[in-house]
Amino acid sequence: MLTTMSNVLIYTTTTCPYCKMAKNYFKEKGIAYTEKDVTNDAATQEEMIKKTGQMAVPVIDIGGKTIVGFDREAIEKTLGV
């Protein structure tokens, strides 16, 4: 299972309820993650858009696999839990 900060990255905004759900999910499961808030960071927004071609959040990158939105089933499949 991928649980290190370098393997799980989540792009968020301060007002996104699905971002909060994703972060809570990772906390409940004890999965460490790195958060990048794209709210006021143009460079990070561009980085996220390059990965997905979209502006939707959350964008969750797990070991190089990108999931757009809080898709619990896709997250668990990718993590192998």
Of the pLDDT bands very low, low, confident and very high (cuts 50, 70, 90), residue 1 is very low
Residue 4: per-residue pLDDT: 46
Chain segment 5-35, per-residue pLDDT in tens: 448 999 999 999 999 999 999 999 999 999 9
Chain segment 40-75, per-residue pLDDT in tens: 999 999 999 998 998 899 999 998 999 999 999 999
Q: What is the 3-state secondary structure (H, E, C) of 31-76?
A: CCCEEEECCCCHHHHHHHHHHHCCCCCCEEEECCEEEECCCHHHHH
Between 58 and 81, where is the model more confident?
Answer: 58
**For the chain, which residues make up each domain, given as ranges?**
8-79
* Domain at 8-79, CATH homologous superfamily: Glutaredoxin (3.40.30.10)
- Could you give the C-alpha distances from 31 to 2, 22, 41, 67, in angstroms and in order? 8, 11, 25, 16
Map residue 10 onto helix, strand or coil. Answer: strand
Map residue 12 onto helix, strand or coil. Answer: strand
Map residue 18 onto helix, strand or coil. Answer: helix
Element (H, E) at 20: helix 17-29
